[in-house]
Amino acid sequence: MDRALDLAALAMGRTSPNPLVGALVLDASGQLVGEGFHAAAGRPHAEVGALAQAGERARGGTLVVTLEPCCHHGRTPPCTEAVIDAGVRRVIVAMEDPDPRVAGQGIKALRQAGAEVLLGVRQREAEHLNAAFCHRLRTGQPLGLLKWAMSVDGRTALPNGASQWISGPASREWVHRLRARCDAVIVGGGTLRADDPLLTSRGRRAIEPLRVVISRELGLPEQAKLWDQSTAPTLVAHGPEAPEPERLRLDALGVERLELAGCEPLELMEALAQRGCNQVLWECGPSLAAAALRQGCVQRVAAVMAPKLLGGTAARTPLGDLQLSSMAMALPWREQGLSRSGDDLIWELNGPEC
Amino acid sequence: MDRALDLAALAMGRTSPNPLVGALVLDASGQLVGEGFHAAAGRPHAEVGALAQAGERARGGTLVVTLEPCCHHGRTPPCTEAVIDAGVRRVIVAMEDPDPRVAGQGIKALRQAGAEVLLGVRQREAEHLNAAFCHRLRTGQPLGLLKWAMSVDGRTALPNGASQWISGPASREWVHRLRARCDAVIVGGGTLRADDPLLTSRGRRAIEPLRVVISRELGLPEQAKLWDQSTAPTLVAHGPEAPEPERLRLDALGVERLELAGCEPLELMEALAQRGCNQVLWECGPSLAAAALRQGCVQRVAAVMAPKLLGGTAARTPLGDLQLSSMAMALPWREQGLSRSGDDLIWELNGPEC
């Protein structure tokens, strides 16, 4: 199963809206005869690849798979049928598929066809691997990550607004790799106006994440790197109050627009989940970050901390008002990881309810 | 020498204005026959203790000492005489004493008396051990440490001012241990009014550090834990503009006062160095911390970071304005240590010039 989980992880950031899945086939004597993983939506499922590689040697053998095989016709036929047709005798599964179209029905179908099914092997690891996919199916929202780069005294810019660069080159590459694991990267209008960011993984992901600007009243610059969609697509979400001339200008640029009734982070997250985003990255300023946190759109944060002192009474900080009135309301987040990145530290934390 | 350095460190925080010193005596055959360390100002020097323990066995032997033996009459007689009288043949010294009354003269005196002297063994470690003492002799100021506790988003209080407690109990104990290594702990009037702190090591240091309040115009509360000097002494530094009635009230409380012409951090540091403070801890609010940094009164910072998000547009941050106008002016600090303290992280950094 560890090998199957490793195979699954090879497609990290490339399978949305689908989960990451890896599979192995052992023949009747226990020899490894096939391996597969799900590489992208629309491509064959992991089980199908592994069974194809095994061929006739799968008969009487064992399938090891990180997620319950599907039993419905999606873009590809049900995997349960392929497993049964291949004559597999035993199926070892890490976790049930939370997709309501499967949800135990795949395991039931395999058992009804006479296969022995063992469920729950390395379940925790499998759930961790597909945390974003599971979160989307449970909540109807993508898993939200929020990252910021700050000085050790908690500043994200100098008093004069300068912010390039607080963190070192290794940390900026780390952010590119982080984007490659996400389906969308979100900024507000303020960040677009101030930084004119590119927001790509710099080619670390074959299909770059969707770049999203959320800006209630628009007022976005006429020239911006995000308007050049030759390397990555851009979506602009705005409120009903957005002026008509700017809408037309964006349409003329070929930039996709999305009108949201309240133009709130939560509405955007629901829209992105419907587009199949499992995991999104907030790379926004303090007000939007605080709004996203207050609306439950952030499950993980990553603070990139540089060994510099910036100071500044009115200098920018990572988060605006969270409306906390007592220290007891500030629930502790749980450490997911602490790593060094050049001279910087990266502290990753999971939300209290996560 | 490693053993001698360990012996020296036993008196950490108790020797000011003197340095930490450890010494060993080996007899002519290389057997360890005496050990000593300098326990406190006015108490015997390390060499004298080690030689006394060795007695006649020191004759023809070796003295290993972390700092050049003194050659002047201070509160105790010159150590060079004791070394020569004991008949020691070889002296191994980690570093020269930067005290201008010694500064190589001790080594010269030993050599003139016929002893073989080896200088520079474990010099880096010895200099590190007495970094604060060396800094004071070089600059006429104590080594300045600045610590703060903040949330991972860089806040030292909630928007409503609540700050107890951001960090966990393990970190608060770490601060008590930090205070035990310092000769004075400094706050401003704002911290005194807001927090009414105790500022002691909670008994971890036999003689508690001097508690210092720096407040230009005073206006300090009539009741404060710092006015009870049964556990630790308190010094109030103020400017010439401090009103007479409050001066008289402090005098009546038995609290020592120090009038400073400009009431600036640098003046206070010079006054504390003259009182024999080698190392002081700034535990103040953002304005005073920024002023201390701008005036070169801080050589090390320790950021205690709690895994909480506090947010708040106007919530307190560690540092006020440092008057930086470009990112190039924010020189990187060098990591001295990174440690875990319960769920918190403690990141200790040395200043760019340190």
Amino acid letter, A22: G
Q: Return the residue of A nearest to B157 by Cα.
A: A327
Question: Around Cβ B89, how many Cβ atoms within 10 Å?
Answer: 14
Of A19, A20, A70, nearest to A48 by C-alpha is A70
Mean pLDDT in residue range B140-147: 98
Q: What is the pLDDT of residue A206?
A: 82
Residue range B144-196, pLDDT digits in tens: 999 999 999 999 999 999 999 999 999 999 999 999 999 999 999 999 999 99
Q: What is the pLDDT of residue B42?
A: 87
Set of chain A residues whose Cβ sits within 8 Å of the Cβ of B286? 311, 313
Set of chain A residues whose Cβ sits within 8 Å of the Cβ of B164? 327
Chain B residues 89-148 with a CB less than 8 Å from chain A: 148
Interface test with B, best of A147, A152, A155 (most B CBs within 10 A): A152
Residue range B97-132, pLDDT digits in tens: 999 999 999 999 999 999 999 999 999 999 999 999
Question: Around Cβ A247, how many Cβ atoms within 10 Å?
Answer: 15
Query: Which run of H or of E encompasses B287?
Result: helix B286-294
Q: Which residues of chain A are modeled with pLDDT < 50?
A: none
Q: pTM of the full predicted structure?
A: 0.92
Residue range B238-293, pLDDT digits in tens: 999 999 999 999 999 999 999 999 999 999 999 999 999 999 999 999 999 999 99
Flag if A153 and B310 touch (Cβ within 8 Å).
Answer: no
Q: Return the residue of B nearest to A287 by Cα.
A: B313
Chain B residues 277-296 with a CB less than 8 Å from chain A: 286, 290, 293
Q: How many A/B residue pairs have CB atoms within 8 Å?
A: 156
Burial of B241 (0-12, 13-18, 19+ CB in 10 A): exposed
Between CA B296 and CA A339 the distance in angstroms is: 31
The shortest C-alpha distance from B165 to chain A (Å) reads 7
What residues form DSSP beta bridges with A344? A341
Provide φ and ψ at B279, rounded to 5°. Answer: -145, 130
Q: For chain A, what percentages of helix, strand and coil (3-state, to nearest 5) are there?
A: 30, 25, 45
Between CA A240 and CA B111 the distance in angstroms is: 89
Between CA A24 and CA A37 the distance in angstroms is: 9
Tokens 């190589």, located at residue: B104
Provide φ and ψ at A333, rounded to 5°. Answer: -90, 160
Between CA A229 and CA A233 the distance in angstroms is: 5
Which residues neighbour A277 within 8 Å (Cβ) at sequence distance 6 or greater? A16, A17, A136, A142, A183, A184, A210
Amino acid letter, B75: R
What residues form DSSP beta bridges with A341? A344
Amino acid letter, B334: R
Q: What is the pLDDT of residue A354?
A: 58
Q: Is 70 exceeded by the pLDDT of residue B354? A: no
Q: What is the pLDDT of residue B257?
A: 98
Of A258, A306, A36, A284, nearest to A158 by C-alpha is A306
- Asked if A310 has any chain B CB less than 8 Å from its own CB, the reply is yes
Q: What is the pLDDT of residue B132?
A: 96
Residue range B283-317, pLDDT digits in tens: 999 999 999 999 999 999 999 999 999 999 888 99
Q: What is the pLDDT of residue B13?
A: 87
Mean pLDDT of chain B: 95
Set of chain A residues whose Cβ sits within 8 Å of the Cβ of B154? 150, 153-155, 317-318
- Asked if B346 has any chain A CB less than 8 Å from its own CB, the reply is no
Amino acid letter, A11: A
Flag if B309 and A322 touch (Cβ within 8 Å).
Answer: yes
Specify whether the CB–CB gap between B54 and B61 falls below 8 A: yes
Provide φ and ψ at A300, rounded to 5°. Answer: -140, 145
Interface test with A, best of B294, B324, B343, B347 (most A CBs within 10 A): B324
Set of chain B residues whose Cβ sits within 8 Å of the Cβ of A331? 308
Active site residue A56: no
Alpha helices in A181-305 (DSSP H): 189-195, 244-253, 265-274, 286-294
Alpha helices in A63-187 (DSSP H): 79-85, 105-112, 123-129, 131-139, 169-180
* Triad A319, A324, A328: Cα angle to 5°: 120
